[in-house]
A = this chain, B = another copy of it.
Amino acid sequence: MGRYMLSWAVYRAAIPSLMRPVRFCTFLACILPVFTPLHADEGMWMPQQLPQIAGALKQAGFQADPALLADLTRPPLSAVVRAGGGTGAFVSDAGLLLTNHHVAYGVIQYNTRADANLIEHGFIAQNRADERPANPDFQVLVTTSFDEVTAHILQGTQSLTGRAYFDAVENASKQMVAQCERGSGMRCSVLPFNDGLQFYRLTQLPLRDVRLVYAPPRAIGNYGDEIDNFMWPRHSGDFTLLRAYVGRDGKPAPYSKDNVPYQPPAHLQVSIEGMREGDFAMLAGYPGATYRHRSAAEFRHQVEQVLPRRIALLEAMIQVLEQAGLRDADLRTHYAAQLQTLKNQRKRAAGELEGLQRSDAVRHRIEDERQMWDAWRKRFGATQVQAAQAAFDNAIARTLASSERGQLLAEITQRTQLLRAALLMARLQIEQDKPDTEREPGYQQRDQTHVEGFLRQLQRRYAPNAEKMLLSMLLTRYQALPDELRLPEYDAVFGRTREELDAALYRLYAHTRLGNEQVRLASLAAIVSRRPPVDDPLLVAATQLVKADLRIEAARKASQGELLRLRPVYMQALAYWRGQQGRALSPDANGTLRVSYGQVESLAPRDAVHYSPVSTVAGIVEKHTGQVPFDAPTPLLAAIARRQFGRTSDPTLGTQPVNFLTNLDTTGGNSGSPVLNARGQLVGLNFDSNWESVSASWWFDPRTKRAIHVDMRYMHWLLAKVYPAPGLLQEMKLPVE
Interface residues of A (CB under 8 A from B): 232-233, 235, 326, 358, 606-616, 618-619, 622
Q: How far does the alpha carbon of A55 sit from the alpha carbon of B488 in the complex, in Å?
A: 88
A-B contact pairs, 5 of them (CB 8 A): A232-B608, A235-B607, A326-B326, A608-B614, A608-B616
**A326 to B: closest C-beta gap in Å:** 8
With CB as the reference atom, state the residue of chain B lying closest to A617: B607
Q: How far does the alpha carbon of A59 sit from the alpha carbon of B359 in the complex, in Å?
A: 46
**A308 to B: closest C-beta gap in Å:** 14
Sample of 5 further A-B pairs with CB below 8 A, known A233-B606, A358-B622: A607-B615, A608-B615, A608-B616, A609-B610, A610-B612
Q: How far does the alpha carbon of A232 sit from the alpha carbon of B609 in the complex, in Å?
A: 9
- Residue from A232, A608, A616 having most chain B Cβ neighbours under 10 A: A608
B619 near A233: Cβ-Cβ < 8 Å: no
Inter-chain contacts of A614 with B (CB < 8 A): 608
Inter-chain contacts of A622 with B (CB < 8 A): 358, 606-607
Inter-chain contacts of A326 with B (CB < 8 A): 326
B608 near A619: Cβ-Cβ < 8 Å: yes
Inter-chain contacts of A607 with B (CB < 8 A): 233, 235, 615-616, 618-619, 622
Inter-chain contacts of A618 with B (CB < 8 A): 607
With CB as the reference atom, state the residue of chain B lying closest to A358: B622
**A13 to B: closest C-beta gap in Å:** 34
Q: Of B232, B608, B611, B616, which one neighbours A233 at CB under 8 angstroms?
A: B608
Inter-chain contacts of A611 with B (CB < 8 A): 608-610
With CB as the reference atom, state the residue of chain B lying closest to A232: B608
Q: How far does the alpha carbon of A6 sit from the alpha carbon of B556 in the complex, in Å?
A: 67
Inter-chain contacts of A609 with B (CB < 8 A): 233, 609-612
With CB as the reference atom, state the residue of chain B lying closest to A605: B622
Inter-chain contacts of A358 with B (CB < 8 A): 622
Q: How far does the alpha carbon of A608 sit from the alpha carbon of B603 in the complex, in Å?
A: 10
Q: How far does the alpha carbon of A610 sit from the alpha carbon of B235 in the complex, in Å?
A: 16
Q: How far does the alpha carbon of A350 sit from the alpha carbon of B619 in the complex, in Å?
A: 19
- Residue from A606, A607, A622 having most chain B Cβ neighbours under 10 A: A607
Inter-chain contacts of A610 with B (CB < 8 A): 609-612
Inter-chain contacts of A235 with B (CB < 8 A): 607
Inter-chain contacts of A606 with B (CB < 8 A): 233, 619, 622
**A4 to B: closest C-beta gap in Å:** 24
- Residue from A358, A609, A614 having most chain B Cβ neighbours under 10 A: A609
B619 near A612: Cβ-Cβ < 8 Å: no
Q: How far does the alpha carbon of A610 sit from the alpha carbon of B604 in the complex, in Å?
A: 9
Q: How far does the alpha carbon of A616 sit from the alpha carbon of B609 in the complex, in Å?
A: 11
Inter-chain contacts of A608 with B (CB < 8 A): 232-233, 611-616, 619
With CB as the reference atom, state the residue of chain B lying closest to A660: B608
**A325 to B: closest C-beta gap in Å:** 13
Q: How far does the alpha carbon of A612 sit from the alpha carbon of B235 in the complex, in Å?
A: 23
**A620 to B: closest C-beta gap in Å:** 8
Ranked 3 nearest A-B pairs via Cβ: A607-B619, A233-B608, A608-B612
Q: How far does the alpha carbon of A233 sit from the alpha carbon of B326 in the complex, in Å?
A: 37
**A171 to B: closest C-beta gap in Å:** 51
Q: How far does the alpha carbon of A554 sit from the alpha carbon of B606 in the complex, in Å?
A: 55
Q: How far does the alpha carbon of A610 sit from the alpha carbon of B622 in the complex, in Å?
A: 15
Q: How far does the alpha carbon of A615 sit from the alpha carbon of B622 in the complex, in Å?
A: 26
- Residue from A358, A612, A614, A616 having most chain B Cβ neighbours under 10 A: A612
Q: How far does the alpha carbon of A265 sit from the alpha carbon of B616 in the complex, in Å?
A: 54
Inter-chain contacts of A616 with B (CB < 8 A): 607-608
Inter-chain contacts of A612 with B (CB < 8 A): 608-610
With CB as the reference atom, state the residue of chain B lying closest to A655: B607
**A377 to B: closest C-beta gap in Å:** 34
**A75 to B: closest C-beta gap in Å:** 34
Q: How far does the alpha carbon of A99 sit from the alpha carbon of B196 in the complex, in Å?
A: 65
Q: How far does the alpha carbon of A607 sit from the alpha carbon of B653 in the complex, in Å?
A: 11
Q: How far does the alpha carbon of A358 sit from the alpha carbon of B623 in the complex, in Å?
A: 11
With CB as the reference atom, state the residue of chain B lying closest to A233: B608
Q: How far does the alpha carbon of A473 sit from the alpha carbon of B612 in the complex, in Å?
A: 46
**A212 to B: closest C-beta gap in Å:** 31
Inter-chain contacts of A232 with B (CB < 8 A): 608
Inter-chain contacts of A615 with B (CB < 8 A): 607-608
Q: How far does the alpha carbon of A326 sit from the alpha carbon of B233 in the complex, in Å?
A: 37
- Residue from A610, A613, A616 having most chain B Cβ neighbours under 10 A: A610
Q: How far does the alpha carbon of A608 sit from the alpha carbon of B358 in the complex, in Å?
A: 24
**A225 to B: closest C-beta gap in Å:** 18
Inter-chain contacts of A619 with B (CB < 8 A): 606-608
**A243 to B: closest C-beta gap in Å:** 33
**A735 to B: closest C-beta gap in Å:** 26
Q: How far does the alpha carbon of A608 sit from the alpha carbon of B600 in the complex, in Å?
A: 14
**A144 to B: closest C-beta gap in Å:** 41
**A233 to B: closest C-beta gap in Å:** 4
With CB as the reference atom, state the residue of chain B lying closest to A619: B607
Q: How far does the alpha carbon of A326 sit from the alpha carbon of B327 in the complex, in Å?
A: 11
**A496 to B: closest C-beta gap in Å:** 33
**A537 to B: closest C-beta gap in Å:** 35
**A211 to B: closest C-beta gap in Å:** 35
Q: How far does the alpha carbon of A235 sit from the alpha carbon of B609 in the complex, in Å?
A: 13
Q: How far does the alpha carbon of A615 sit from the alpha carbon of B608 in the complex, in Å?
A: 5
